[in-house]
Amino acid sequence: MLANCSQIFGSAEGEGITTAMLVGAGDDTANWISHGRTYSEQRYSPLDAVNKDTVGDLGLTWFAD
């Protein structure tokens, strides 16, 4: 059954997420290529736009009922 997946989704070489991208995901702060950002799924963001000086400026941007 899994053998048919490549027929359904194709096997375009050079496209998609590579092993090197997964292993090096921790070095890429601009893109989260997995749910937890890094290969070990740490979910930690090293970005510093929100800090103790700017947290007071945060507000509600959107919500859904």
Say if 23 falls within a structural domain: yes
Q: Which helix (H) or strand (E) holds 23?
A: helix 19-23
Say if 63 falls within a structural domain: no
Total domains in the chain come to 1
pTM of the model: 0.47
Q: Give pLDDT, residue 14.
A: 59
Residue 37 phi, psi dihedral angles, 5° rounding? 75, -50
Split at pLDDT 50, 70, 90, the class of 10 is low
Split at pLDDT 50, 70, 90, the class of 4 is low
Say if 33 falls within a structural domain: yes
pLDDT tens by residue, 34-65: 888 888 888 888 888 889 999 999 999 999 98
Say if 47 falls within a structural domain: no
